[in-house]
Amino acid sequence: MERTRIAVAGASGLIGSALVRSLTADGHEVVRLVRRAAHGADEVCWDPAGRYVDPAGLDGCDVVVNLAGAGVGDRRWTEAYKKKIHDSRVLGTAALAEAVATLDRPPRVFVNGSAIGIYGETGEQVVDEDAPAGHGFLPELCVEWEAAAAPAREAGVRTVFPRTGLVVARGGGAWGRLFPLFKAGLGGRLGDGRQYWSYISLHDEVAAIRHLIERDDLSGPFNLTAPQPLTNREITAAMGRVLRRPALFAVPEPVLRAALGEMAADVLGSQRVVPKRLLESGFAFAFPGIEDAIRAA
């Protein structure tokens, strides 16, 4: 890809910071969206909750990437925090999509983050991008989140939705909490361990987003998950092998529900999601297996 000017919202997050490092290492010009006054040409002021973004800062950007949003697993889901999760995604997406739609020189692609949470509980059923949305807080949030990008799509901007799975990384997300536990010898399955986890290495997550940016023929939803989802029991066993620690402990379902509240359904739920469209587009995973993904992290 030729040297490109790329705006990134959520540039300080787990995925966003890794994407920015990758893009800048290859010589691309990255403009970060910040929730304060911009301090230079490489920053754009925005207020996602207020549905505001300075459109002048996006002018001349070939690509706009939105990965912003309050952490789903950062704290217990009170009604106030669920509203924060919702507004940070839906209102922020609407602000960016509306700004993009007003530009005289719109970007050639708008990449708006989403999640495999859109499918809800799938049990042992394998699902791809053709599956319908599920029911509950996360599926309904994801539907609204993607719908908020409509102004950009209707303005003729190619719009892509990377539906991300569980990212295997030390710096955050589910694995950011798992690694210290396993290194301390306290790791083990969650609940009965039979629930499927659809994971992806951080390296492959960034590579897939860049693939979606660079391919002008790709639009719509793409599952960003490794080709073979595994059960929580299989994944925790792999963690134990790679880190050379016993995976003897298990957290019973009632304890998880008491500790996490409504969020426990996300941890105990089963999502057997495959990246059908990503594979069909020719994307090659560097770390498709769980042990390689853990070692890469």
Provide the 10 A C-beta neighbour count for residue 225: 28
The one-letter amino acid code at 49 reads: A
> How far is the C-alpha of 18 from the C-alpha of 281, rounded, in Å?
23
CA atoms within 13 A on the CB side of 115: 25
User: Is residue 162 within 8 Å of residue 208, measured between CB atoms?
Assistant: yes
pLDDT band, very low/low/confident/very high, at 260 (cuts 50, 70, 90)? low
What pLDDT is attached to residue 191?
A: 79
What pLDDT is attached to residue 9?
A: 97
Provide the 10 A C-beta neighbour count for residue 171: 15
Q: Rounded mean pLDDT of 89-106?
A: 95
Residue with tokens 């594979």: 279
The one-letter amino acid code at 48 reads: P
Whether pLDDT at 289 is above 90: yes
Longest dimension (CA), the chain: 59
Q: What is the DSSP letter of 251?
A: B
Residues 6+ apart with CB under 8 A from 126: 229, 272, 273, 274
Out of 3.40.50.150, 3.30.390.10, 3.90.1150.10, 3.40.50.720, the CATH code matching 5-296 is 3.40.50.720
The one-letter amino acid code at 288 reads: P
DSSP element (H, E) containing 14: helix 14-25
What pLDDT is attached to residue 247?
A: 73
Q: Which of 43-47, 111-115, 216-220 has the lowest mean pLDDT?
A: 43-47
Higher pLDDT, 46 or 186: 46
What pLDDT is attached to residue 15?
A: 96
> How far is the C-alpha of 80 from the C-alpha of 65, rounded, in Å?
27
DSSP element (H, E) containing 161: strand 158-164
Higher pLDDT, 255 or 148: 148
Whether pLDDT at 274 is above 70: yes
Residue-wise pLDDT for 159-202, tens only, equals 999 999 999 998 877 777 778 877 877 777 777 889 999 999 99
Q: Rounded mean pLDDT of 281-291?
A: 97
- % of residues, the chain, pLDDT over 70: 93
Residues 6+ apart with CB under 8 A from 95: 46, 47, 48, 50, 51, 52, 53
Average model confidence (pLDDT) across the chain: 90
Whether pLDDT at 265 is above 80: no
What pLDDT is attached to residue 132?
A: 97
Whether pLDDT at 53 is above 60: yes
Whether pLDDT at 239 is above 70: yes
